[in-house]
Amino acid sequence: MSRPRPRKSLLIGINYVGSQHELRGCHADVQNVAEFLTFRGYSNSRRSQVIMRDDRYTDPDGPMWPNGHNILAAMDWLVSAPGTCCFLHYSGHGGQVRDPDGYLENDIDDTIVPVDYETRGQLASDILHRHLVTSMAPGCTLFIVFDCCHSGSAVELPYVYRSDADGNVGLMDNLKIGVELIGEAGDLLAGGFSFNKLGEARELYGGATDFFRGLKHMGEAGGDEDGLQAEDEFQSEYGSENKMVTLFSGCRDDQTSADASIAGANVGAMSWAFLETMKRQQYPTYLTTLQMTRGLLDESNYSQIPQLSMGLEMDLDQPLVI
């Protein structure tokens, strides 16, 4: 008889207490998710679960305080043990910052916002990808729920699924789109260099990296002759990772995620909708979960559209792996 796989969880709830950007429901979200995980067989021992909150019970100088350094250290811990089922929940502010490698005026990275963001900055999507996906130990699975604004591509996963108001789900294959756009950009430069062509190529290439901002966009002087990375390099960077990573995010990149009051309690709308789905169907499929969370948010008059992002393409009719 095979032994059950070890499980680890990391739960982060930041209310930004005392700041002008204070939230109300993030600490409660963490508590609610912790109770759900206990019900689903996750241990709440210190060896298996880390909870980070900016409340009066947490030492601001200790390792559980949700500043940027501690969050990344906790993420490294979460995915460090081979063969582990890992669960990450984040409830707090999400933001967007200018991509330092970008070439387009609207080239921005999605972020999560640590409690010390005003002095140490935010955690951008390419950083989160490296710590959570690229660094994941062999045989691990990772399930993520992000309840924050602009969270659609916050971990830069290649396969994105969205549900419309009628429950129909469509796939946006960012790996395929990226390869096609890079090929088009290379074709523009073929047959002779020109500044006009280079400008068009940059626009196409920038589009190809919307979800893969960790890649270099263009070579500087002395770099690649055409200034573009080859298609196979693009694919090898992200297409070959094939990690079993699932992200349910509270909204698209261009949307905000609500801090809500439901049944008299302050909670995040996405966290509430996800947990409510789990209550109504104990073992739903990926498809059902996406459709039900969308439906619950619609019924409660929240305009945000939850997304499902995956590290590999798969049948959404399979039961959810948590």
Active site members: 93, 149
**Half-sphere exposure at residue 108, Cβ-oriented, CA atoms within 13 angstroms:** 14
The one-letter code for the residue type at 21 is H
What DSSP designation does 22 have? -
Q: CA 84, 271, 69 angle in degrees (round to 5)?
A: 60
The one-letter code for the residue type at 180 is E
| Sign of the dihedral through C-alpha 245, 246, 249, 253 | positive
Cα separation, 301 vs 242, whole angstroms: 36
Cα separation, 84 vs 78, whole angstroms: 9
Cα separation, 161 vs 16, whole angstroms: 31
Q: If we measure between CA atoms, which residue out of 259, 254, 267, 269 comes closest to residue 300?
A: 269
| Cβ pair 305, 162 in contact under 8 A | yes
**Half-sphere exposure at residue 253, Cβ-oriented, CA atoms within 13 angstroms:** 18
Cα separation, 78 vs 38, whole angstroms: 17
Q: If we measure between CA atoms, which residue out of 300, 282, 245 comes closest to residue 135?
A: 245
* SS3 call for 182: helix
Q: Which residue has the tokens 């589009």?
A: 207
The one-letter code for the residue type at 205 is Y
- Angle of helix 195-208 relative to helix 174-189, nearest 10 degrees, comes to 170
Q: Extract the tokens encoding 40.
A: 């689903």
